[in-house]
Structure 1
Amino acid sequence: MALVKLLALAFLLAVPISATDYTVGDASGWTLGVDYNNWVSGKTFQVGDRLVFTYGSTHTVDEVNQASYTSCSSSSPISSASDGNTTITLNTAGTHYFICATSGHCLQGMKVQIPVTGSAAGSPSGSPSTPSPPGAQSMGVSLTSYSMSSMVMAVSSVVVVALGLGC
Structure 2
Amino acid sequence: MVLNMVGLSMFALAFMIIATEAREYTVGDSVGWNTPTNETFYQDWATNKTFLVGDILIFNMTGNQMVSQVSKADYDNCTKVVSGFIGKEGVSVLEQTLVTSGPLYFICPIDDDCVKGQKININVESTNSGASTLQPHHSAISRSVGIVVALAMYFLTIAH
TM-score (norm 1): 0.61
> Does structure 2 conserve the Cα–Cα contact (< 8 Å) formed by 1:92 and 1:119?
no
Q: Which amino acid aligns with 1:93?
A: S
The counterpart of 1:74, out of the listed 60, 73, 80, is 80
Aligned-partner Cα distance in 2 for 1:84–1:114 = 22
- Letter paired with 2:125: T
CA contact (8 A) 1:46 1:120 kept: no
Q: How many Å apart are 1:59 and its aligned residue?
A: 0.6
- 1:111 alignment counterpart: 119
Equivalent of 1:41, from 47, 56, 59?
A: 47
Shift of 1:71: 1.0
Aligned to 1:18: 21
More helix by share: 2
List structure 1 runs of 4+ shifted beyond 4 angstroms: none
Amino acid at match of 2:107: I
Residue 57 of structure 2 is matched in structure 1 by: 51
What residue number does 1:27 align with?
A: 30
1:20-64, CA deviations, whole angstroms, 9 ceiling, x for partnerless residues? 000000000011125011100111001100000001131101111
Q: Which residue of 2 aligns with 1:84?
A: 92
- What is the Cα deviation at residue 120 of structure 1? 6.2
Q: Which runs of 5+ in 1 are unaligned?
A: 1-7, 125-167
Q: Where does the alignment leave 5 or more consecutive residues of structure 2 unmatched? A: 1-8, 132-160
Q: 1:18 to 1:66 in 2, by over 3 A?
A: same
Percent identity for Structure 1 against Structure 2: 33
* Letter paired with 2:55: D
Q: Which residue in 2 is equivalent to 1:63? A: 69
Alignment RMSD (CA, Å): 2.9
Return closer, same or farther for 1:120/1:64 CA change in 2, 3 Å cut-off: farther
| Residue deviations 1:65-112 (CA, integer Å, cap 9, x gap) | 111111111335323212121000000110110000111000110000
In 2, the alpha carbon distance for the partners of 1:120 and 1:85 equals 29
Q: 1:61 to 1:76 in 2, by over 3 A?
A: closer
Alpha-carbon distance in 2 for matches of 1:79, 1:102: 12
How many pairs are equivalent?
Answer: 116
1:97 is matched with: 105
